[in-house]
Amino acid sequence: MAIFCALATLALGASPTFAQQGNPAILAEIEDPLAAAEAYQQQLFTRVAPSVIFIAQGGSFGSGFFINDTGLALTNKHVVGKAKSVTVVFQDGRKRQAKVVEVAGDAVDLALIQVDIKSSPALELSGFNDLRVGSWVGSVGHGSGGIWSFATGMVSNIYVSKEDRSLFQTQIPLNPGASGGPVFDRKGRVAGVVTSGILNTNSVNFAIRIDVAFDSLEKLSKDCDCLTIRAPKGVPIFVNGRAIGKGPRLRITPTAGSLEVFVVIGGKMQKKTISYPKTREITFK
């Protein structure tokens, strides 16, 4: 309304001079969307940053983040290397030793470490549900530009790697040392884990979708507060009329309530209506 009134005043009156356009009195009447965006991003950083940890191993370092309140943290396999334990530093300066408790198999660049701490601020692992090309994403990590650095961008591509693992590309400007840090959506929910970038390029970085962690790490496989849908490999899966992914296995974190899930196999539609979270697994054959 303030913007409309200001524009109407300008339209009915004489054209403002350059000086008038920059008049603080006039600008004060117009709502400031940039201030609102700044405030929201600052609050988001304040909420996410305490969950991010600095990880040192040998002569290298990387990032990680807490995924529960008992000190379990997720990072990259290449960040911990072959070490049995690593040193972690919290945002408030505290330093602890952490044990490497699980490393993902195959070519999945993920690992879990157990930090010696009684209580840890965890991030919600459900941002992958609404991930789309063009989605706003942010990351907090420890790139060569500084520790606990906040960078933002958007999702520029989503695809499946040669190892049949879900990855997405971002335009977030990240540097070596940010690996293992969270990529989160505008609500602060983790969508992925920073894994690598292309050297000699600007802002071309990749993240592993967070649902891959539930598939690849045994300690997390039973902790996913989500719906698992199984279908033949490559078969599109639809929830409430919207395509959300393909078989053989898909995990989503839907809102509680009734869901209509269907697939088309061999030219025939198979449809199931379920109530989530009462039902947490569906299989189509």
Residue at 232: amino acid letter: P
**Distance between CA atoms of residues 246 and 233, nearest Å:** 7
The number of CA neighbours under 13 Å toward the Cβ of 267 is: 0
Question: How many residues make up the chain in this entry?
Answer: 285
User: Who's near 162: CB < 8 A, 6+ residues apart?
Assistant: none
User: Who's near 49: CB < 8 A, 6+ residues apart?
Assistant: 91, 140, 148, 150
Choose, from 139, 166, 179, 216, the residue flagged as catalytic. 179
- Residue 233's DSSP bridge partners are 247
Active site residue 179: yes
Active site residue 69: no
Choose, from 78, 85, 130, 223, the residue flagged as catalytic. 78
Task: Give the closest residue to 99 by CA, choosing from 55, 49, 147.
Answer: 55
**Distance between CA atoms of residues 200 and 118, nearest Å:** 42
With left for phi above 0 and alpha for psi between -120 and 50, is residue 168 left, alpha or beta? beta
Active site residue 144: no
The number of CA neighbours under 13 Å toward the Cβ of 60 is: 15
Choose, from 109, 185, 211, 215, the residue flagged as catalytic. 109
To which residue do tokens 């967070």 refer? 210
The residues carrying an active-site annotation are 78, 109, 179
